[in-house]
A and B are shown apart, each in its own frame.
Chain A
Amino acid sequence: AQKVTQAQTEISVVEKEDVTLDCVYETRDTTYYLFWYKQPPSGELVFLIRRNSFDEQNEISGRYSWNFQKSTSSFNFTITASQVVDSAVYFCALSGASGGGADGLTFGKGTHLIIQP
């Protein structure tokens, strides 16, 4: 069975601080995919990034960066110089070898990020 754990229920920081959201996953698949989604108050999940299990390169996109470490089964997400607009619930998700197709996504419980002005 697959499992995603986001131990941080809520994080509150002041604008311009850096913040890291933790994600730990469990799977028996040798090929799998990891995702991060953002859910603003409107409810729609916004896709941020996808990583496959063979690609451990860290990725940076503007103020966002992701650190994938297979050895610790972690896929952490860092926001640099946070802004009020980053306030949302962030979900880490996992899918099996067939991708997000046949198996669906397994989500963590989410981390509510609050950026205070």
Chain B
Amino acid sequence: DAGVTQSPTHLIKTRGQQVTLRCSPKSGHDTVSWYQQALGQGPQFIFQYYEEEERQRGNFPDRFSGHQFPNYSSELNVNALLLGDSALYLCASSLVGSDIQYFGAGTRLSVL
């Protein structure tokens, strides 16, 4: 049973560029959440997708956007990258109504 998979594992971008990160949920899961984890900090909730719609959003600017596809996979897009966007981006999946989120290994984004 495949767990949550994320791609790519590492990414290097320059300021002002745009980036797309991808996530495939655990088999049978229909809800995907995205988190940003800065070095030495706990993950921070960005947003969650269910039924291809954004259900809830954390305190992140509109430069952060997402999408969920009919097969429940999801993308996180970040526009106009800033140095401060450098972080580990974690995707988590769950079943709607369940409290337990299962995480992928993340995408390490470096903005130069």
Contact of A44 among B48, B55, B58, B104 (CB under 8 A): B104
Kindly state the separation between the CA atoms of A18 and B74 in the bound complex, as whole angstroms: 41
Asked if B101 is an interface residue, CB under 8 A from chain A, the answer is yes
When the two chains form their complex, are residues B104 and A104 in contact, meaning their CB atoms are under 8 A apart? no
When the two chains form their complex, are residues A44 and B103 in contact, meaning their CB atoms are under 8 A apart? yes
Q: Which residue of A lies closest to B103 (CB)?
A: A45
Residues on B lying within 8 angstroms of A by beta carbon are: 31, 33, 35, 40-45, 47-48, 50, 55-56, 58, 88, 90, 92, 94, 96-106, 108
Interface range on chain A (Cβ under 8 Å from partner):
20 to 34
Stretch at the interface among A60-68, A75-83, A106-114: A106-114
Contact of A101 among B40, B48, B58, B88 (CB under 8 A): B48
Shortest distance from the beta carbon of B40 to any chain A beta carbon, whole Å: 8
